[in-house]
């Protein structure tokens, strides 16, 4: 079975290989979100290294789980995605998708075990955070909710993988909630949603062809490009406003990440076959922005 034999304008069978399905470049989302929460709650923790290790492990497992189950709904669309493939080739692809789904469920299980361990240390308040997070991660692409296909992926990921993961990590570290945790989570949460939006922009034509009702398919490509630009710029505005209001430390370092925004920004207006790198390049921008943002917590204030 080869990509040349099975490839079509709708999909590439190589995306179901384990390494590609796991999407390791997207781990920047879980790692940076967890790290921000860890930093925010570090001084309030009586066992910071233990909690930090558990938070990072759980966050990474949850990200892998979401990535590995993400393509499970493609099984229903194999005839559309691979119209030139033989029945046996489509069965082979279905087996790869099923394998990834099972591995994703295993990652969910391990993340749940870590969550139960943390609940035993922090109490039942953490249980509700874990339940909301797990449900949001699983039903991203799974029925009966499948909020990605309802056009809700971008806003819900902002909350689930951004606000909730960051403030929840801070709560695990410190044992209490503060409004500042939620406010300081906003800039990075915006870029977490931006990474998902870049994925929808990259796959706009193929998603539309197979009936995937993502936000970009629903509102149209050009409006999603405008949304991408507004979100990218609003992350800078939010961080700088939070600094000026005294909620965050000096964060002007993030302006250096504008250099990394140039490449994905340019790809917004190119033809579909030249747009393939927009998601990893947006991921690189997210990583640089996030690293600079977190660095601002670790260096002495300049003002």
Residue-wise pLDDT for 50-59, tens only, equals: 999 999 999 9
pLDDT score, position 3: 38
Instruction: Give the contacts of 8 (CB within 8 A, at least 6 positions apart).
Output: 81, 82, 83, 84, 85
pLDDT band at 300 (very low <50, low <70, confident <90, very high): low
Burial of 264 (0-12, 13-18, 19+ CB in 10 A): buried
pLDDT band at 2 (very low <50, low <70, confident <90, very high): very low
Q: Report, as an integer, the average pLDDT of 283-295.
A: 94
pLDDT score, position 129: 86
Q: Looking at the domain that runs over 3-297, which CATH code has it been given?
A: 1.10.600
Distance CA 127, CA 239 (A): 30
The b/e string for 101-116 (b: 16+ C-beta within 10 A; e otherwise) is: bebbeebbebbbebbe
pLDDT score, position 258: 94
Burial of 145 (0-12, 13-18, 19+ CB in 10 A): middle
pLDDT score, position 301: 58
How many Cβ atoms sit within 10 Å of the Cβ of residue 253?
18
Residue-wise pLDDT for 169-217, tens only, equals: 999 999 988 999 999 999 999 999 999 999 999 989 988 887 888 999 9
Every domain of the chain and the residues it spans: 3-297
122-127 long-range Cβ contacts below 8 angstroms, 24+ apart: 122/171, 122/172, 122/175, 125/171, 126/168, 126/171, 126/172
Q: Report, as an integer, the average pLDDT of 269-275.
A: 90
Q: Which residue has the higher pLDDT, 250 or 295?
A: 295
pLDDT score, position 148: 78
How many Cβ atoms sit within 10 Å of the Cβ of residue 242?
18
> Residues 27, 60: contact at Cβ < 8 Å?
yes
């Amino acid at each position: 079975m080869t990509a040349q034999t099975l490839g079509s304008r709708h999909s590439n069978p190589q995306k179901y290989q384990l390494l590609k399905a796991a999407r390791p470049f997207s781990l920047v989302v879980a790692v940076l979100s967890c790290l921000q929460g860890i930093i925010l709650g570090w001084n309030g923790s009586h066992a910071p290294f233990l909690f930090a290790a558990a938070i990072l492990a759980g966050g990474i497992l949850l990200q892998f789980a979401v990535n590995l189950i993400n393509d499970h709904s493609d099984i229903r669309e194999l005839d559309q995605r691979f119209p030139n493939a033989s029945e046996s080739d489509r069965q082979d692809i279905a087996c790869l998708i099923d394998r990834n789904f099972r591995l994703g469920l295993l990652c969910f299980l391990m993340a749940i075990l870590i969550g139960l361990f943390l609940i035993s240390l922090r109490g039942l308040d953490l249980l509700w955070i874990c339940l909301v997070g797990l449900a949001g991660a699983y039903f991203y692409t799974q029925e009966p909710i499948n909020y990605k296909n309802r056009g809700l992926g971008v806003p819900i990921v902002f909350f689930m993988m951004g606000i909730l993961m960051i403030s929840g990590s801070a709560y695990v570290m410190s044992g209490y909630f503060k409004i500042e945790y939620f406010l300081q989570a906003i800039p990075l949460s915006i870029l977490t949603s931006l990474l998902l939006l870049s994925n929808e922009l990259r796959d706009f034509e193929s998603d539309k062809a197979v009936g995937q009702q993502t936000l970009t398919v629903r509102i149209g490509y050009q409006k999603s490009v405008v949304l991408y630009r507004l979100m990218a710029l609003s992350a800078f505005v939010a961080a700088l406003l939070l600094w000026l209001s005294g909620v965050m430390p000096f964060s002007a370092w993030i302006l250096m990440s504008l250099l990394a925004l140039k490449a994905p920004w340019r790809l917004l207006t190119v033809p579909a076959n030249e747009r393939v790198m927009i998601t990893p390049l947006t991921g690189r921008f997210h990583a640089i922005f996030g690293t600079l943002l977190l660095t601002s917590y670790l260096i002495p204030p300049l003002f």
